[in-house]
Amino acid sequence: MNVIHIKALAKINLGLDVTGTREDGYHLVRMIMQTIDLFDWVTIRKSRYNKISLTTNLNFLPTDEHNIAYKAAALLKQDFPQIGGVELRIHKCIPVAAGMAGGSTNAAAVLFGMNKIYHLGISQRRLMEYALTLGADVPYCLMRGTALAEGIGEKLTRLLPMPDCYILVAKPPVSVSTKLVYQALDACGELEHPPIDAQLDDLKRQDLCALCAHMGNVLEQVTVPMHPEITRIKQLMQEHGAITAMMSGSGPTVFGIFSEEGQAVAAKGYIRTSGLARQVYVTRPFNVKNKQINEDQ
């Protein structure tokens, strides 16, 4: 096999709480992660030139070691000299700097795909360790599905899948730096914390309405005052049938949960017309069945 095409899937957070700070400054989190069926295509091709090359469809993204997918390839190449040349092609659809783990999921796809096409024989556990050196969300992007993420995001517990529904994703045309949001959070006083334990119970009972009622993201308290359009998009989604709407990760992407596809599609139209967001997608939860990563060869 000389080439592999991998769907690198995005995530949303059904719940996101920050519970403290580690001595090294990293934030301790409790997050309910959900993979969604919105993805970038990552193509990995063996090449005869002994180097890593990367191209993407977005001209503002780095194509050198500043791209986290490139870093993932360099990490494996350093430990496995037999790798030789690697060509990476990333076709991005996941909004960038949006709280959807776009970079992390590209890195996870590269780790998974290179292990496969170069027959490196790296165990799942070791792959998770490589993933964590690249970023706190990368191990989850390898695991995928519905999971509780604790620690700095690396302690993962698989949960029952989120009940099926339609998810409307809308990214306003502003970029948010995850690092700055967490820094600003430290300067906040009393925070309102979302009920993550209640959400865990809701998932056990497969109760979508209760899960939605308990959704909350502590980071909204930082990002929303900076970008009030987030509130406007949430309101629009709820006015047009969303059971609930919330910001994902550090934002600014907003997602709404719908039980009816037709309502989600109609709400998408209203949001586009409002001009509040240009990147708007109707998608669904992705649930892991047998395969670790969905691939198309």
Residues near ligand ATP (CB under 6 A) are 61-62, 67-69, 90, 96-104, 106, 137, 178, 249-250
Residue with the two structure tokens 């990002």 = 223
Considering the complex, state which of residue 32 and residue 243 has its C-beta at the smaller distance from ligand ATP: 32
Q: Mention every residue, 6+ apart, whose C-beta is less than 8 A from residue 247.
A: 99, 217, 219, 220, 223, 224, 230, 234, 253, 254
Minimal distance, residue 53 CB to ligand ATP, in Å: 14
Which residues touch 143 (CB under 8 Å, ≥6 apart)?
128, 156, 158, 288, 292
Please, which residue, 96 or 184, has the CB nearer to ligand ATP?
96
Residue among 67 and 244 whose Cβ is closer to ligand ATP: 67
The order of strands in the sheet holding 244-247 is 244-247, 254-258, 166-171, 279-283
In the complex, least distance from residue 69 CB atom to ligand ATP, rounded to whole angstroms: 4
| C-alpha pair distances (Å), 26 with each of 99, 151, 191 | 17, 9, 18
Min. distance of Cβ 27 from ligand ATP in angstroms? 12
User: Of 224 and 243, which CB lies nearer to ligand ATP in the complex structure?
Assistant: 224
Question: Which residue reads 């500043």 in tokens?
Answer: 66
Name the residue among 183, 139, 144, 150 with its Cα closest to residue 162: 144
Q: Give catalytic status of residue 24 as yes or no.
A: no
What single letter denotes the amino acid at residue 14? L
For residue 97, the minimal CB distance to ligand ATP (Å) is 4
Q: Rank residues 250 and 263 by Cβ distance to ligand ATP and give the closer one.
A: 250
List the catalytic residue out of 17, 40, 137, 202: 137
CB of 196 to ligand ATP, least distance (A): 18
Give CA angle at 35 (172, 177), nearest 5°. Answer: 40
Q: How far is the CB of 241 from ligand ATP (least distance, A)?
A: 26
**CB-nearest residue to ligand ATP:** 103
End-to-end CA separation in angstroms for the chain = 9
Kindly tell me which of 137 and 154 has the beta carbon lying closer to ligand ATP: 137
Closest CA to 247 of 93, 94, 100: 100
SS3 246: strand
* 155 in catalytic set: no
Please give the structure tokens belonging to residue 146. Answer: 């519905």
Active site residues: 11, 137
